[in-house]
Amino acid sequence: MRLRLSFATLVASIAPLAGHAQQRASTVPLIPEPTVAALAGELSGASAKRNLEFITRQHRMRASKGFRAAADFVAAQAKLYGLQEVTVHEIPADGHSMYGTQKARLAWDPEFAELWEMRVDGGHVTPVARMASFEDAPVILAEDSDSADVTTELVDVGAGTSEKDYAGKNVRGKIVLTSVAPGDVVPLAIDKFGAKGVVSAAQNQPTAWSREDVNAIRWGHLDSFEARHTFAFMVSLKQYRALQERLATGEHITLHAIVRASRHPATYNPVTALIPGADRRGEEIVLSCHLDHQRPGANDNASGCATILEVARTLSALIADGKIARPSRSIRFVWPCEVECTLALFHAQPEMRARFKAVIHMDMVGGGPVTKAIFHVTRGPASLPSFVYDVGQRFGTFVNSESELYAEGTGGRYPFVSGEGGKEALLGDLAEFTMGSDHELYEEASWKIPGIYLNDWPDRYIHTNFDVPGNIDPTKLQRAAFIGAASALFLANLKASDVAALWASMEPSTLRRAATMLDRRATLSPADGAALTRSFLSQQRDAFESIATFAPIPDSVRREATAFFQRLETITGAPEASPPVTGEGAVVFTRNAAVEGPMVVFGYDYLADHTKGRAAPRLLDYQGLRGNGDEYAYEVLNFVDGKRTTREIRDAVSAEYGPVDVSLVADYLRALESARVVRAAK
């Protein structure tokens, strides 16, 4: 009986396998199925999460001891995994060196901070309760706070950004309570009215869930470059409201603030490591993330850094075991501090940077359901048309479809599910370009390195004490790792014989973009519609041509593409020539190659610093259909190529983000000219 039962059980368990051919599965794109199977057998979201847990225990401020501890850990793991050229770089963070458009900030090393409520009884001051402890949650101390030991009263100044907030209040020598970011209240509260410090409950990075978690404490910042010494504590909404209520009744609240922290020269410590290519070692595919941010900073961005480390482990192991061939091009891994370390690395290692062909950048890739995160596989900017974005989105589509079949119980051979993670479908969004992380440096016109950007948004706990490892789904890390690894392998091996399959996958995605373009065109004026069509068609052709930067395009594929673009124009209509322009619209600008990087980096605004006394360009305050002023500005500069007229730049950026008046674009270009970032061609 036992035997028969076991036999029956065995048959039952085999049945799904026997029916395997009936199970639905999607076709493996671009790379051989044995490679996908090898990746599926080795990639581990749980392994990535173990590394994430170490990283989240460090308070990873720029150039600090905490960042160094995380960097040393990543370097040690990379060595353990068999990577080569593992290096913890040391690049001056001295407060004045320029790395392109980034002025190096000083290191900021916080060691201790506590905020106590005190009782004042006659001449005696005694502690009542500890309100905030750096040891408990380092996010309570705003970045760039300096040492202090102050016992004084707390004064509510509301926002504290307007003189009337201080009417009838004496804040001299006191601590101000504010609802806004500490850096915004300093000019009046500290500089003008003589307060000693700040307690803030600023609610930055708003999402639909903002203000719901009243115990969340948000990361706050003071100005990195100001010589003045002050400090700011960040408190939860619950603490803030309680303090406000008590002060409103006329109660006196005395606080004791103790801070030991300093800004001082040190070094940025980005980590790099290499899987050497078999024969095209002079060309590198980069996997990037950013290793910094406040503790725990699990999704932002221990998740991206642990995930590229898992890609490193997996590829290294599979190559060593002979399960996949060593890729033709090298694969470089970079763990920097966000934006500023990437720019510092570009300038400290120009030969390395010159080998970069494409980047896969991960910033927040593990948010579980509690974070409300939507995962995105994001394209590069319109100023940099490239086939690379289609590669990332093709693998994103594959994981979407396989994980959905798996979750619904109808199939899916490669759902990439971690044993300790979720089983739900990925449903990643195939997104158009968004800014907000290091990919905007790679893709900037100074370097033109196309990137696949994997990112969660929103995350209700970003930049708070609640961005914890418990929110991270190992399955999601494993899926991001697969998209990263598969894209890296395809790009590292891409050769002429792969181009036909690549183009076959680009045709349908080009048609999907055409559909989006037609939707948008229907809402535009005829002139803007014509400009949109022109930009769209030329960018799709440029994306096809970009393949040639990786591999020669076979004549047969070129013929197919030519026929495809002709058919496409029967749908979109042929592009009309640009109308003639005069005046400011006709001016052509060229980029000053000596100024490398975007205008706004971390803690430093190159344009503002180089145009002091000039009114801020109006474009920066513009809100278009799909972009804000910073996005328009980033792309206007990227479109400057010594050939496009101001009017053509206006048309291109209008196609990307929605129509904008040419005068705003011209005004911005003139501001760039006065900062010697561009000059008008004669």
Question: What gap in Å lies between CA 194 and CA 493, rounded to an integer?
Answer: 62
Residue 303 binds Zn ion, judged by CB under 5 A: no
Of 246, 100, 52, 30, the residue nearest 610 (C-alpha): 100
Q: Name the segment binding Zn ion (CB under 5 A); options: 31-39, 297-305, 505-513, 625-633.
A: 297-305
Helices 388-407 and 499-521: crossing angle in degrees, nearest 10, is 90
Instruction: Identify which range of 4-12, 295-303, 540-548, 620-628 contacts Zn ion by CB under 5 A.
Output: 295-303
Question: Which sign does the torsion angle of CA 499, 273, 318, 38 carry?
Answer: negative
**Minimal distance in Å, beta carbon 301 to Zn ion?**
4
Q: What is the 3-state secondary structure (H, E, C) of 240-267?
A: HHHHHHHHHCCCCCEEEEEEEEEEECEE
End-to-end, the C-alpha distance of the chain in Å comes to 95
Near Zn ion by CB under 5 A: residue from 363, 440, 584, 635: 363
**Residue 219 vs 606, nearer CB to Zn ion:** 219
For Zn ion, the closer of residues 71 and 118 by Cβ is: 71
> What is the three-class DSSP state of 348?
helix
Of 225-233, 298-306, 602-610, 654-662: span binding Zn ion (CB under 5 A) = 298-306
In the shown chain, the binding pattern of residues 23 to 52 toward Zn ion, with x for contact by CB under 5 A and - for none, equals: ------------------------------
Min dist. Cβ of residue 298 to Zn ion (A): 11
DSSP structure string for 433-492: ---SSTHHHHTSTTT---EEEEEEE--TTTTBTT--GGGB-HHHHHHHHHHHHHHHHHHH
Check if the beta carbon of residue 365 is closer than 8 Å to that of residue 319.
no
Q: Where are the alpha helices (DSSP H) in 355-429?
A: 388-407
The residue among 106 and 337 lying less far from Zn ion, judged by its C-beta, is: 337
**Is residue 156 involved in binding Zn ion (CB under 5 A)?**
no
Q: How far is the CB of 371 from Zn ion (least distance, A)?
A: 13
292: contact with Zn ion by CB under 5 A:
no
CA 116 to chain CA mean position, Å: 36
464 touches Zn ion by CB under 5 A: no
Least Cβ distance, residue 303 to Zn ion (angstroms):
9
Of 283, 300, 310, 456, the residue at the interface with Zn ion (CB under 5 A) is 300
Selected range binding Zn ion among 54-62, 356-364, 404-412, 539-547, rule: CB under 5 A: 356-364
Q: Cβ closer to Zn ion: 269 or 455? A: 455
- Cβ(456)–Cβ(370) under 8 Å? no
Nearer to Zn ion, 366 or 412 (CB): 366
Q: Judged by CB, which is closer to Zn ion: 290, or 647? A: 290
Choose the stretch contacting Zn ion; rule: CB under 5 A; options: 255-263, 341-349, 361-369, 662-670: 361-369
Q: How far is the CB of 59 from Zn ion (least distance, A)?
A: 15
Q: 404 or 467, CB closer to Zn ion?
A: 467
Tokens of 669: 């270009």
- Exactly one of 77, 301, 342, 393 binds Zn ion (CB under 5 A); that residue is 301
Q: What is the closest distance, in whole angstroms, from the C-beta atom of residue 299 to Zn ion in the complex?
A: 8
Give the per-residue contact string, 313-352, with Zn ion (x = CB under 5 A; - = no): ----------------------------------------
| CA dist., res. 333 & res. 144, Å (int) | 29
Number of helices and strands in the chain (H, E)? 19, 21
Stretch that binds Zn ion, among 1-9, 112-120, 292-300, 606-614 (CB under 5 A): 292-300
Q: How far apart are CA 389 and CA 216, in angstroms?
A: 36
DSSP codes, 449-460: --EEEEEEE--T
> How many residues line the site for Zn ion (CB under 5 A)?
3
Q: Within a 10 A sphere around the Cβ of 69, how many other Cβ atoms? A: 17
Q: Pick between residue 156 and residue 363 the one whose CB is nearest to Zn ion.
A: 363
Tell me which residues touch Zn ion (CB under 5 A): 300-301, 363
